[in-house]
Structure 1
Amino acid sequence: MTNACTNGLDVGFASLDYLQIGILGVIQGITELLPISSTAHMRVVPALLGWPDPGSAFSAAMQLAALAAVVSYFWKDVRQVATGSVQALRQKDYDNRWFKLAVAIILATIPIGIAGVALSSTLNACNSPLRGLMVIGISCVLMAVLMAAAELTARHRRTVGDMRLRDALIVGIAQIGALIPGVSRSGSTLTAALFLNFKREEAARFSFLLGLPAIALAGLKELWVLSHTELAANAWPHLLFGLVVASVSAFLAIWGLMKFLERFSTWPFVIYRAALGIFLIVAVSTGLLS
């Protein structure tokens, strides 16, 4: 089913009803923070159910739900990074751990900021080739292979307190992959951190904290773009409803993932990604999905 276009922007979500928005909100909230790609699920689920593609604008705006969930769950960390950095600047204590973490997060955000601006016209265009189901399927499989390699080679020794600027830059570069549907922001950053020998729960923690600036910038930018687009009257209530549903789902997803990674590996996500990717490749190749 083709996208609903308004001034060249895909805004298919405006044609969905509240039940459909609620279902997609739950899926978006859960998959945004799990290493399985929310963008992929925002394309695959509507395609399987015969719904319009809600569009990349919807997916980007829904990231603000993830922002609210991450800030709520990691409020202690967020507050300490903010207050610790301010205090360090006042005292010129540049060895302060919270100041170093803040610098690491800022440094790691620069690559995706540059790439996001460069690719924004392609990513948000109606019927963007990057949102094709075959592209998503291939991305899912490739990321499954990388996650598997990370699990097999990682030594799981390091913590966020050991983070060096070089580590942050490597993870930040990996985050660029999130711009391709099917890769997953949390998946790419978590995998990069595992390759750097961070403990699983510590890798996830840094992945979430690192994502705050990128998620905030992407979500707010998309709201600004949508505010300058002639949307249908029901579009904004739909978006607000989706944000509320996705926020609750995202918080539960963080809680579940952190508890899971304290005891288990990422292999279930590897298997799920590989299965989803192979299904999409076969479905598109055989004409089951188009």
Structure 2
Amino acid sequence: MGWVEVIVLGIVQGLTEFLPISSSAHLRITSAIFFNEDAGASFTAVTQLGTEAAVLVYFAKDIWRITRTWVVGIWDRSVRSSLDYRMGWYVIVGTIPIGIFGLLFKDDIRTAARNLWLVATVLIVFAFVLAFAEYWGRQTRTINNFRMRDGVVMGFAQALALIPGVSRSGGTLTAGLFLSLTREAAARYSFLLAIPAVLISGVFSIPDVFNKSDHHPSGAQMVVATVIAFVLGYASIAWLLRYVAHHTLYLFVLYRVALGSLVLALLMTGTIAAT
């Protein structure tokens, strides 16, 4: 894998991970259009460690407070009614679906799910699902009104992001809107929910990145790509939280439809290969 490809994919990962447009789809599409080769699901998983590190830094105070309260609450009943204690459980329970489906469909995620016909179609279909949620969602519930049911539903929505094109943040934001959560509340929980799944997936994918194929990155290249993803990912978090507080998600809907349509056109004309 060349340095240009590594740097470009690191930039793409950092810019798209937290937006509801699917970073895995963008990495797959970018690889196909500009480098004529799929960087692979493992490369995606490892570079996500960089963007997830950005979450850890950005939400460090919240994460520490939630973790500390959850640990104390195991023995101290007096703190169990607090949102921080309950949020710890919401994140744990919400992570279960993606863990189960990730293990059950591991091989398909790395192969069939990365077919560009599927990726492009999913980008478009879920764009309309997101638009429907934005239109019908009442957005009357804040993070203080979050319940276990919300965590479970958004956990299953996150599991759908195992398919490139769905988008982890897009799936959870959509589910949150259908649950009448505000965009800010859904986005904040989405960031917290992603932490366990991404960290576990990324760590376990590290050996797979450095396989014996001709198209694999060096250790230095992975470090550079991950650092780039971290820096741009941090900026993306700050931008998205400000954006969703004052704007609808229709901009992302239009972008998803346009990108999916472009990929379908390139596939139909034989400009790029589906696999």
TM-score, length-normalised on structure 1?
0.89
C-alpha distance after superposition, 1:13-67 (max 9, x if no partner): xx2x222211110111111111100111111112221342211110011110121
Contact 2:209 2:217 in 1 (8 A): no
1:48 to 2:59 alignment: no
Contact 1:85 1:96 in 2 (8 A): no
Q: CA RMSD in A?
A: 1.6
2:99 counterpart residue number: 113
Tell me how far apart the structure 2 counterparts of residues 85 and 141 of structure 1 sit (CA, whole Å).
39
1:35 to 2:20 alignment: yes
Q: Which runs of 5+ in 1 are unaligned?
A: 1-14
2:51 counterpart residue number: 66
Contact 2:5 2:35 in 1 (8 A): no
Q: Work out the number of aligned pairs and report it.
A: 271
Letter of the structure 2 residue corresponding to residue 65 of structure 1: G
1:166 to 2:149 alignment: yes
In the superposition, relative to structure 1, how do residues 287 and 254 fare at CA in structure 2: closer, same or farther (>3 Å)?
same
Tell me how far apart the structure 1 counterparts of residues 265 and 36 of structure 2 sit (CA, whole Å).
21
- Of 120, 130, 137 in structure 2, the residue corresponding to residue 137 of structure 1 is 120
- Of 225, 229, 232 in structure 2, the residue corresponding to residue 249 of structure 1 is 232
C-alpha distance after superposition, 1:134-165 (max 9, x if no partner): 11111101110110000110111111221111
- Of 86, 101, 106 in structure 2, the residue corresponding to residue 100 of structure 1 is 86
Tell me how far apart the structure 1 counterparts of residues 222 and 158 of structure 2 sit (CA, whole Å).
26
C-alpha distance after superposition, 1:57-96 (max 9, x if no partner): 1001111012101111111211111111122223123222
Matches within 5 A, 1:224-239: 224-226=207-209, 229-230=211-212, 235-239=218-222
Letter of the structure 2 residue corresponding to residue 201 of structure 1: E
Letter of the structure 2 residue corresponding to residue 40 of structure 1: A
- Of 90, 109, 132 in structure 2, the residue corresponding to residue 149 of structure 1 is 132
- Deviation, structure 1 residue 289: 2.1
1:183 to 2:183 alignment: no
Tell me how far apart the structure 1 counterparts of residues 8 and 91 of structure 2 sit (CA, whole Å).
32
C-alpha distance after superposition, 1:177-201 (max 9, x if no partner): 1010111111101110011111111
Letter of the structure 2 residue corresponding to residue 87 of structure 1: V
Contact 1:88 1:96 in 2 (8 A): no
1:201 counterpart residue number: 184
Tell me how far apart the structure 1 counterparts of residues 269 and 106 of structure 2 sit (CA, whole Å).
31
1:222 counterpart residue number: 205
2:6 counterpart residue number: 21
Tell me how far apart the structure 1 counterparts of residues 255 and 109 of structure 2 sit (CA, whole Å).
25
Letter of the structure 2 residue corresponding to residue 77 of structure 1: D
In the superposition, relative to structure 1, how do residues 99 and 231 fare at CA in structure 2: closer, same or farther (>3 Å)?
farther
Q: Which runs of 5+ in 2 are unaligned?
A: none
1:3 counterpart residue number: none
Tell me how far apart the structure 2 counterparts of residues 254 and 78 of structure 1 sit (CA, whole Å).
15
- Of 243, 247, 262 in structure 2, the residue corresponding to residue 279 of structure 1 is 262
In the superposition, relative to structure 1, how do residues 263 and 214 fare at CA in structure 2: closer, same or farther (>3 Å)?
same
1:87 counterpart residue number: 72
1:263 counterpart residue number: 246
SS at match of 1:179: coil
SS at match of 1:262: helix
Letter of the structure 2 residue corresponding to residue 75 of structure 1: A
